[in-house]
Every structure is written in C-alpha cells, then in structure tokens.
Homo-oligomer: A and B are copies of this chain.
C-alpha cells in the first residue's frame, strides 16, 4: 500500500525537522509507526534517499504556496507585502518544513551539490523580481538583499518559537505572536515608503 510510504515520509519530516539528519535514526522513525526499520528500507532503499524524498515534498509545498499568493494585489508594493505575509503564514503553518530547510541550509555547505538548491533558486528569483518592481530599483543586489532580510525575519522567528516560548513565558510569547505579522507589514511598508496593509 502506497499509504505506508506517505506515513513514513510524514514521520520522517517531523523527525528530521526536530533532530536533524544525524540526530535521527531510521529505526527511530519506524518506531513512531507500526513498522520495523526494514519496512522503511524496503520502501526507500536508504536513509539518504528517504531524506531526499522528504526534501522534494517540502520544496513542492514551498513552490505551490508561492504560486497562489499575490494574485489579488493592485500594485507591486501591495503584492510584495502580501506575498511575504503569505510566506510568514505558510512558514508558521508548516513549521517542520521551515525547521528542516533551516537545517539543510546549515548542512548544505558540506553536502553542497547544486541539485539541492535548484528549487531555492527559482524561489529566490521570483521574490527578487517582485522586490525589484516594488523598490523601483534596477540594482539586483539590493532587491536580493531585501528579499533575504525578510526571509530571515520570517524563518528565524518561526524556528525560534519553541525557544522563545520557554524564554518569554506564555503571556509575552502570545503577545509577540500576535504582533509579529503586523510588525512585518510595518517593516515592509516603511521600507517601500508606503502605508502598511490592514
């Protein structure tokens, strides 16, 4: 049944996000399901191949999410803000994906094959184009820098949330969560020199 594969991929995504590639054993993944690790190996061949499949699913979700956003905007600045708020929401919703991609970014230096970054390239190019339009600035390095700053503002926050919760306490943490989206809008809008969305 192909459903078992799916369940393995889901469990693996959670495990790799939580403990990283080396911190996760395939036996560990299998134990969270009613299967042995050999069932896993039967379906995926090796730990690396399972990981690759997990990564492929994540990049699919990432691109699917990007494609939908920004349709309704009436101008480039508005579209820019809408897209990044959409990225924030998606990153929060799929926080496992966000954590895993952050780990991948850290490990990438070592296992840096270009194969792994193609989807990121597309993603970044799309955003950089939006930034160029919104900034009205032809300089690609500046657009890219802005994009990266906002991606950082989003992903770093999402990844830090468990730590922040324990550090700040439930109340302050809730306030921060509530404020973050609007504060991101303010940051974007002021950088573009326009008024932030609602």
Contacts and interface: CB of A to CB of B under 8 A. Distances in A.
B149 A107 contact: no
Interface string A158-198: 01101110111000100110111001101100110100000
A160 B150 CA distance: 13
A126 interface: no
A94 to B, nearest CB: 15
Q: Could you say which interface size class chain A belongs to?
A: 35 or more
11 contacts: A102-B102, A112-B163, A142-B183, A144-B172, A145-B184, A148-B164, A148-B180, A149-B183, A152-B155, A156-B156, A190-B190
Interface of A: 18-23, 99, 102-103, 105-110, 112, 114, 117, 120-121, 124, 139-142, 144-146, 148-157, 159-160, 162-164, 166-168, 172, 175-176, 178-180, 183-184, 186-187, 190-191, 193
